[in-house]
Chains A and B, each alone.
Chain A
Amino acid sequence: MDTSQYLNVFMDECQEHLQILNQSLLDLEKEPDNAELLHSIFRSAHTLKGASATMGFNKMSNVTHAMEDVLSLLRKQELQITPEITNLLFDSLDLLEALAKGITEGREEDIEVAGVLQRLKKYSRQKEEAQVETAQANERRKTLQLRYTQEEKENVTKLIEEGNSLYHLDIHLKQDCLLKGARAFMILRELEAVGVIAQTVPSAKELEDEQFELEFIIGLCSKQPLGKIEKLIKRVTDVKEVKSQQVKPEDILLERRDKPEYEEVTTQESPVPDRKEQKSVSASTSTSTSTQKQKGAVTPNIYPTVRVDIRKLDSLMNLIAELVINRSQIEQLSSEIQDQRLEETVEHLNRLTIDLRDQVLKTRMVSIDQVFSRFPRLVRDLSKNTGKEVELRLSGVDTELDRTVIDEIGDPLVHIIRNCVDHGIEEPKEREAAGKSKTGVVTMDAYQTGNSVMITVTDDGKGIDPEKVAISALEKGFVTKEELEDMSDQDKINLIFLPGFSTAEKVSDVSGRGVGMDAVRAKISDLGGVIGLSSEPGQGSKFTIQLPLTLAIIQTLLIQLGEEVFAIPTSFVDQTISVHKKEIKILRHQEVTLMRGEVLPLMRLQDYLGVKNAKNTDLDELDVVVFKSGEKRLGCIVDSLLRQQDVVIKSLGSFLGEIPGIAGATILGDGKVALILDLRNVA
């Protein structure tokens, strides 16, 4: 079976359930007695099992299957939740996440699952031996019953009068059956050939969707003898046994009004956790507000949603960009024609296009909850590893960001949180000595201001000592003594963003070694954002990240050079200045000028980009665009600054690949392509 086309759907579903598992496990750790949580975990594991088996990802289905076994013992309270079991479940979850990643990268096979499987099976086997098989069977018998509506009963009675017999076929599939849905479907098809299927439990749809355990019952009206039908069913692979009986019309059970639900798990959509303004997850104390609120709460308004491939939205975005270009062409024409009615229509078209663009942009927005929801687990693990007590408070989880930003912002945030826990929060004893509560608090907040989204990460730890940073920077040769003398405390703190700088006294497992805060800053500036850090010794520190709402549309400065037009994202530009050619000096073969008392190296942009016929060599008054990378600045001399314009950023594609200095391309109002420059790293 070619399942590749379903892979995306599967991966989406997979991520969703992994997230539910993650959250529920965290909550379960705090409330081991909460049955609802256990149900939710079980449901997710169950769904994952079914989905991965259908897709042929056997490792994942084996792991989820084993998890399910253990969970089912927990649900029946035949097994008590111990920290050991919670850890095992967390480990299983990690393994599932690794497998999911492996599947996308096509290397699922390489991932070792035997260890966790064995640990899981140890629990289920312990109990299995003690279990009385029949007790279980009885329980099932009790819960699965074929019932008919009045109308169905009449139909069946009629069929019986026509010489058919009604059989109830109780079919059990083998435990290791992978394609349950397909098997059930095959059985139904076989039976349809010899009679009329009157009723099934669970419903035929549920059977096809694999929403059943190993057992299902079919009510069949047929003229064939029972023995022959049994044989038909047994021919289907994976059928363990069939218990069948002939039912007389008077024995037909009518449906109960209160709808006897199949006691077994129904893999319905798990309720969306209600969005709380303030989610509080603490890793060491047992108090939690999140799950209590959730328990028994009526699911809030959920509107039907559609899952859409992001590429479809991208192409929609492209079309709208086209429309915007077309619109400006019409606008141009209309201003030439000067017809009142035409102008009014164009004005209307204008507004529609802008609304349309905004709406499409909105569809690409995803709530930051997707990223934040990973962090409670991270903080839990960090606090366990470091022996510190840390509580994570999240707020503003509903804040929305463009999908592309969401995908990229996770890693930098992880790094910042690690830093907060590792370097910021003190050991419990140290905290008590300083008169603080034993448990440190890391707070993450997100909110929108204008066209940007702010994310702050605050800790109430020991803060950053500017002098300590300064001394470390001096020792490592990042700064000279003279430079330090001119620096404010804030400047000194900012030194930690220098490449290769790390204030950790010992290299810890937690903060990692390879990447430092410089990588975080680089990533955020790639996203067109800015990161800032403030700190109060003894009180804690605060990271502030400002991100653009979307990456698809950026504000640029259009510049002219020769006959060519280039776009420069305004977020990359430090400032633009005007320099008279007399103010340009030559220093070590390089043109430089003074900007606010500092030497600013200059570059004629045409030299870098190979533009012919640039005019700035003949000009007296020169327009200079200043780029800033870290502490370094570079002034690029252009011919003229045209205007600011919002543009839709497009990739140059993999054929051209990465070209240094060029971040992409965009289509201007006249339909021409303009390249988007990123000269920060040229500086």
Chain B
Amino acid sequence: MKKEEIREETSQLVVFKLGEEEFGVNILQVREIEKLDQGLTRVPKAPRFVEGVINLRGEIIPIVDLRKRFGLTLPALGLDSRVIIVEIGDEAVGMLVDAVVEVLRVPVSAIESTPSITKGVNTYYLAGVAKVEERLIVLLNLERALSQEEAAELSKAELG
């Protein structure tokens, strides 16, 4: 029994919180996790969910507020808030989250590809749900969650 568990394919997730809900991204897409201790520079005329840009050791990184991205109304960021720097293609983007919980190894079999529960986040942005014991971790589809084009279309669709 134990042997089988070891042999089973697993996936490592960085688990973070938006409000009380837990989300996860594949660790392979995460470059690093930073505290947002330096000031953000606001970018005029950027998409609404782009908080601004920061200087990360000489590199200019755009910071996305996932809470705004998903239209979640939540209290202001607290002390635990972090920036998860992820890589999409060649580009590094920072995601502002309420807290980073842990790095979790979950068996691939525990991931359901079609999420049935969404709690306010449009399923379009999701890649699946991982069920770990009693917890439900919502996996993000980063390409979609951080893409501007889709966002524009969606907001149009919502308006219309």
A257 interface residue (CB < 8 Å to B): no
Are A672 and B58 interface neighbours, CB within 8 A? no
Q: Roughly how many angstroms separate A318 CA and B45 CA in the complex, as a whole number?
A: 26
Residues from 38 to 54 in B contacting A, C-beta threshold 8 Å = 38-39, 41-46, 50, 53-54
Kindly report which residue of chain A lies nearest to residue B40, judged by CB atoms: A673
Query: Is B42's CB under 8 angstroms from A564's CB?
Result: yes
Q: Give the CA-CA distance A667 to B57 in the complex, in Å.
A: 10
Tally of A interface residues using CB under 8 Å = 28
15 further A-B pairs in the complex, CB-CB below 8 A; given A608-B44, A671-B38, A675-B43: A318-B58, A319-B58, A321-B58, A564-B41, A609-B44, A652-B43, A653-B61, A653-B92, A654-B90, A656-B53, A656-B62, A660-B45, A667-B58, A672-B38, A673-B41
Q: Which residues of A contact B41 (CB under 8 A)?
A: 564, 665, 672-675
**Does A450 count as interface, using CB distance less than 8 angstroms?**
no
Residue of A nearest to B64 (CB): A655
B154 at the interface (CB under 8 A from A): no
Residue interface mask A602-639, B partner, CB < 8 A = 1: 00000011110000000000000000000000000000
Q: Identify the interface centre among A319, A656, A675: most chain B CB within 10 Å of its CB.
A: A656
Give A606 Cβ to nearest chain B Cβ, in Å: 10
Query: What is the CA–CA distance of A262 and B40 in the complex, to the nearest angstrom?
Result: 66
Chain B, residue nearest A656 (CB): B62
Contacts of A657 in B (CB 8 A): 148
Partner of A673, one of B60, B88, B93, B148: B60
- A673 vs B58: C-alpha distance when bound (angstroms): 10
Establish whether residues A650 and B62, one from each chain, have CB atoms under 8 Å apart when the complex forms. Answer: no
Do A654 and B57 touch (CB < 8 A)?
no
Collect the chain B residues with CB atoms within 8 Å of residue A611's CB: 44
Separation of A611 and B55 alpha carbons in the complex (Å): 20
B55 A653 Cβ-Cβ under 8 A? no
User: Could you tell me the distance between the alpha carbons of A611 and B92 in the complex, rounded to whole angstroms?
Assistant: 26
A interface, CB within 8 angstroms of B: 318-319, 321-322, 564, 608-611, 650-657, 659-662, 665, 667, 671-675
CA–CA, A242 to B143, complex, Å? 58
Sort chain B's interface into a size bin.
20 to 34
| Closest CB in chain B relative to A628 CB, distance in Å | 22
Contacts of B148 in A (CB 8 A): 655, 657
Q: 27 interchain pairs (CB within 8 A)?
A: A318-B59, A322-B58, A610-B44, A610-B45, A611-B44, A650-B59, A653-B60, A653-B91, A655-B88, A655-B91, A655-B148, A656-B50, A656-B53, A657-B148, A659-B43, A659-B45, A659-B46, A661-B44, A662-B43, A665-B41, A667-B55, A667-B60, A672-B39, A672-B41, A673-B41, A673-B55, A675-B41
- B100 is an interface residue with CB less than 8 A from chain A: no
Q: Does B99 contact A (CB under 8 A)?
A: no
Q: List the count of A-B residue pairs having beta carbons below 8 Å apart.
A: 71
Task: Tell me which residues across on chain B come within 8 A of A673, comparing CB atoms.
Answer: 41, 53-55, 60
Q: Which residue of A lies closest to B44 (CB)?
A: A609
* Known contacts A652-B60, A655-B62; is-contact A671 B55 (Cβ 8 Å): yes
Expressed in whole angstroms, the Cα–Cα distance for A318 and B54 within the complex equals 15
- The answer to whether A655 and B146 have CB atoms under 8 Å apart is yes
Q: Give bound CA distance, A661 to B46, whole Å.
A: 11
- Considering the chains assembled together, what is the distance between the CA atoms of A16 and B137 in angstroms? 54
The 4 closest A-B pairs by CB, nearest first: A673-B41, A318-B58, A609-B44, A322-B58
- A662 vs B54: C-alpha distance in the bound complex, in angstroms? 16
Output the nearest chain B residue to A612 by Cβ-Cβ distance.
B42
Which residues of B (48-96) have their CB < 8 Å from a CB of A? 50, 53-55, 57-62, 88, 90-93
B57 → A minimal CB distance (Å): 7
Cβ–Cβ < 8 Å partners of B88 in chain A: 655
Report the separation of the CA atoms of residues A673 and B90 in the bound assembly, to the nearest whole angstrom: 21
Please state if A665 and B60 are interface contacts (CB–CB under 8 Å).
yes
B42 partner residues in chain A, CB cutoff 8 A: 564
Smallest CB separation, B103 vs chain A (Å): 25
> Is B45's CB under 8 angstroms from A662's CB?
yes
- B92 contacts across to A, CB distance below 8 A: 653
In the complex, chain B residues whose CB is within 8 Å of the CB of A654 = 90-91
What's the least CB distance linking B138 to chain A, in Å? 23
A662 vs B52: C-alpha distance when bound (angstroms): 13
CB nearest neighbor in A for B41: A673
Bound complex: CA of A652 vs CA of B42, how far in Å? 12
A671 and B46 CA atoms in complex are apart in Å by: 22
B53 touches A659 (CB 8 A): no
Is B44's CB under 8 angstroms from A672's CB? no
